[in-house]
A and B are shown apart, each in its own frame.
Chain A
Amino acid sequence: MLYRESGDFSETYKADSQTFPIKFDRYRYYAVLIVAFLVIPFVINDYWANAVLVPFLIYAIAAIGLNILTGYCGQVSLGTGGFMAVGAYACYKLMTAFPDVSIVVHVLISGGITAAVVTLFGLPSLRIKGFYLAVATLAAQFFLVWLFNRVAWFYNYSASGQINAPDRTVFGYLVTGPNTEAWAKYLICLIFVTFTGIVARNMTRGALGRKWSAIRDMDIAAEIIGVNPLNAKLSAFAISGFFIGISGALFFSVYLGAAEVGEAFGIQKSFLVLFMIIIGGLGSIFGSFAGAAFMVLLPVFLKNVLVGGLGWDTALAAHLEFVIVGALIIVFLIAEPHGLAQLWRVAKEKLRLWPFPH
């Protein structure tokens, strides 16, 4: 009843090409933003910020980044962990070298540095395709982790190679370091997520996004219709790298506060972000959020239910958690191979016809 386009007339080209052409969608989007910006910061506590929302938001940025590369442009990458490490270490070096510059600028520059590195590792994609490329990006993953572990300059020659985020403020409020309030942490991440989401959404529905999709669907055909594969692929790598770099920088500076490259940015991270976009839906911004929510919330939720609610032994609960997550991934794929985003799309279609489906 509520969700339909009838009566919603577009009178200008601008209105016709807006992101959410259906009124209900638009209002829902504003409502989510209002709740996220104006309600949650006032009720959030440390546990919800540090264990649930902040990691969710940061992973959402990484998932959007990877989704641009894998979901929109079709280049499977398993180097996300290494690329996040580039963002994190760039941010650390900038934070300690220029303490007077705002952390926001540092995070953005870290994104830029990561974009450059990712583009470099994207060059082989012009020759290598499919799973061969996926495995080739693992070279970046392992090499970058080794590099940050080996070269002492990256961690300012500290004894053990750990990096620690010093206190930094935005408008006088702490956003990094241990004394940061939960809402500040949450808000800074939320602002970056909103920025990322809007930029990514508009990029992927513009000319660039269409070029990427053409490359994904068939790169030779795309070349014939006039898409330059060099530009399209490398721009996907660069933009994806930019977002992944931002997420890496936030992951280190705002969320963890201290990191060690092999542990925080290992191969597991690459797989985790890839899971997110496949579970969420390849080629969908909403899917990136849904997938990140699924992979972050599910383990926390299961743990709370099994250990907290049912009082199980922690080891057994952890094993069962693996079993359940694995089984759910399979069940989801069988039920809907195109991810949560497709389920959402189907639900919307149904809603549109409701209550008269025929």
Chain B
Amino acid sequence: MKRLATATVAAVMAAAPVMADLVFPSLSYRTGAYAAGGIPFADGYADYMTLLNERDGGIGGVMTRILECETGYNTEKGVECYEATKGEGALVYQPLSTGITYQLIPKATADGIAIHSMGYGRTSAANGKVFSNVFNYPANYWNGASAVVQHILDVNGGDIKGKKIALVYHNSAYGKEPIRTLEELSKKHGFELSLLAVDHPGQEQKSQWLQIRRERPDYVTMWGWGVMNQVAIQEAVNIRFPMENFIGVWWSGSENDVLPSGDDANGYKAVTFHNVGNNFPVFEDVKKHVVDTGKAAGAGDQIGTAIYNRGFYAAMLAAEAVRNAQAIHGVADITPAMMLDGMESLEITEARMAELGMPNFGPSFKVSCENHGGPGTVGVAQWDASSKTWSLISDFKETDMSVIQPLIEADSAAFAAENNIAERCN
């Protein structure tokens, strides 16, 4: 047994090119209950790296290599994947599940490897003083929650006193994230908040939606994932809840979630930290260099879908961080430690995104030692059922950092105290 496994490990080593490369592990989940969300993300992530290899010959002359490892959204498999890939010079991990992220935060910190949990994971990791190796720019769940409220404020001319907002959430660590922020915001703006938990997997939500029908909240917001999203949107349609008052977080805002409800889902909204649609020059290159040459990770039909774009965006941020690290250290084949420097001083400008063929794909932002969370600017996208597309209906706007920052400080301080971490960046 052991000999065979060693032999296979050796085979992996032998199969890998001898030359220097930049390794990006992709802990994907193409199977299991959440596969529909995992596939496009992994495809987008891989396609961008393939594009860099095919079109530009890698980053700064060094080829990129995606190490894909299937986790099935399962924490134990995630650990296995991490241990299997970390020795190969992995630069940055996208754990892609709340459970695996929490799992890897201490491990990767001990191993000196960066984690980029983009729009998921532990929100308070935005505090770089405590979480040295974890980044969650450009936005986190608490920004998302604040953006939902911000949007409702905008629609109502700034006054939502006495309005009722219901949160339908996945009854897990992920789903519980926005609760504290929403509670603070409800104190500040005087709206009434009601919480409705939905247990995994969320196939049966009649009770929750009957309750919504009884209580008639003015707005419903949702932290859902997997089948829970489709069922919730369908049930909202069933009780004739006005779709434009139903706002999901980014993980509840993909094509998969709204398509099953057909035309009735028209007008559903979701907050997002990156742009949607396939109307970007870079996708022409992807078609030409990746899809048409048969090197695409998927079938090539996912380009422009919300989660594909998210994976694509994540890969772009990782590649830009590599470039930044190369510039800082003057070495092309960077190490994980250099990657950390690259991420910590990353600056994404509108000009740079336009240069990459991705104008206005995400917000412009700058990462610093203290702030690993970026600007926390979030936009709102709306679903158009007739053309089957998402479109941004508001720019990436500032969220209420006066509420979020103290929460981040408090939560990260608790983590620091529990684990005896001294603050950095002083």
Give me the interface of A with B, judged by CB distance under 8 Å: 46-47, 50-51, 55, 96, 146, 149, 158-162, 164, 166-167, 177-179, 255-260, 262-264, 266, 297, 299-301, 303-305, 307-309, 311, 314-315, 317-319, 322
Whether the pair A264, B122 counts as a contact (CB closer than 8 A) is: no
Among residues of B, the one whose C-beta sits closest to the C-beta of A46 is B83
Q: Which of A161, A255, A307 contacts B173 (CB 8 A)?
A: A161
Instruction: For residue A98, give the distance in angstroms from its CB to the closest CB of chain B.
Output: 14
In the bound assembly, the distance between CA atoms of A262 and B99 in angstroms comes to 10
In the bound assembly, the distance between CA atoms of A164 and B69 in angstroms comes to 25
- Please tell me which stretch of B103-111, B333-341, B388-396 contacts chain A, meaning at least 4 of its Cβ atoms lie within 8 angstroms of it: B103-111
Whether the pair B70, A315 counts as a contact (CB closer than 8 A) is: yes
With A264-B75, A309-B8 in contact, do A162 and B102 touch (Cβ < 8 Å)? yes
Q: Which of A262, A307, A315, A319 has the most chain B CB atoms inside 10 A of its CB? A: A315
In the complex, besides A257-B106, A301-B4, 13 extra interface pairs with C-beta distance below 8 angstroms are A51-B79, A158-B411, A160-B176, A161-B172, A161-B176, A162-B99, A257-B107, A262-B200, A299-B77, A309-B11, A315-B39, A317-B70, A318-B31
Assess whether B12 is interfacial by the CB under 8 Å rule. Answer: yes
Instruction: For residue A318, give the distance in angstroms from its CB to the closest CB of chain B.
Output: 4
Chain B residues lying within 8 Å of A301, measured Cβ to Cβ, are 1, 4-5
Chain A residues lying within 8 Å of B171, measured Cβ to Cβ, are 149, 262
Among residues of A, the one whose C-beta sits closest to the C-beta of B418 is A166
Whether the pair A160, B174 counts as a contact (CB closer than 8 A) is: yes
Whether the pair B70, A260 counts as a contact (CB closer than 8 A) is: no
Assess whether B180 is interfacial by the CB under 8 Å rule. Answer: yes
Q: Which of A51, A160, A311 contacts B122 (CB 8 A)?
A: A160
Q: Which of A162, A166, A263, A309 has the most chain B CB atoms inside 10 A of its CB? A: A263
Q: Which interface class (under 10, 10 to 19, 20 to 34, 35 or more) fits B? A: 35 or more
Assess whether B98 is interfacial by the CB under 8 Å rule. Answer: yes
Whether the pair B80, A159 counts as a contact (CB closer than 8 A) is: no
Assess whether B84 is interfacial by the CB under 8 Å rule. Answer: yes
Q: Which of B103, B199, B414, B418 contacts A256 (CB 8 A)?
A: B103
Q: Which of B35, B110, B124, B173 contacts A179 (CB 8 A)?
A: B110
Whether the pair A260, B68 counts as a contact (CB closer than 8 A) is: no
Chain B residues lying within 8 Å of A256, measured Cβ to Cβ, are 75-76, 79, 103
Whether the pair A258, B79 counts as a contact (CB closer than 8 A) is: no
Chain A residues lying within 8 Å of B76, measured Cβ to Cβ, are 55, 256
Give me the interface of B with A, judged by CB distance under 8 Å: 1, 4-5, 8-9, 11-12, 15, 28, 30-31, 35, 39, 68-70, 72, 74-77, 79-80, 83-84, 86-87, 98-99, 102-103, 105-107, 109-110, 122-124, 171-174, 176-177, 180, 199-200, 407, 411, 414-415, 418-420
In the bound assembly, the distance between CA atoms of A243 and B52 in angstroms comes to 52
Whether the pair B80, A263 counts as a contact (CB closer than 8 A) is: no
In the bound assembly, the distance between CA atoms of A255 and B123 in angstroms comes to 24
Whether the pair B124, A260 counts as a contact (CB closer than 8 A) is: no
Whether the pair A159, B83 counts as a contact (CB closer than 8 A) is: no
Instruction: For residue A63, give the distance in angstroms from its CB to the closest CB of chain B.
Output: 16
Whether the pair A297, B122 counts as a contact (CB closer than 8 A) is: no
Jot down 30 A-B pairs with beta carbons below 8 A, ordered by A. A47-B83, A50-B79, A51-B80, A146-B199, A158-B414, A159-B123, A159-B176, A159-B411, A160-B174, A161-B176, A162-B98, A164-B102, A164-B415, A164-B419, A166-B418, A167-B420, A178-B106, A256-B75, A256-B79, A257-B107, A259-B75, A260-B98, A260-B99, A263-B74, A304-B5, A307-B69, A309-B12, A314-B68, A315-B31, A315-B39
Whether the pair A96, B418 counts as a contact (CB closer than 8 A) is: yes
Chain B residues lying within 8 Å of A164, measured Cβ to Cβ, are 102, 106, 415, 418-419
Among residues of A, the one whose C-beta sits closest to the C-beta of B38 is A315
Whether the pair A315, B174 counts as a contact (CB closer than 8 A) is: no
Whether the pair B68, A159 counts as a contact (CB closer than 8 A) is: no
Chain A residues lying within 8 Å of B35, measured Cβ to Cβ, are 315
Among residues of B, the one whose C-beta sits closest to the C-beta of A296 is B76
Chain B residues lying within 8 Å of A266, measured Cβ to Cβ, are 200
Chain B residues lying within 8 Å of A161, measured Cβ to Cβ, are 172-173, 176
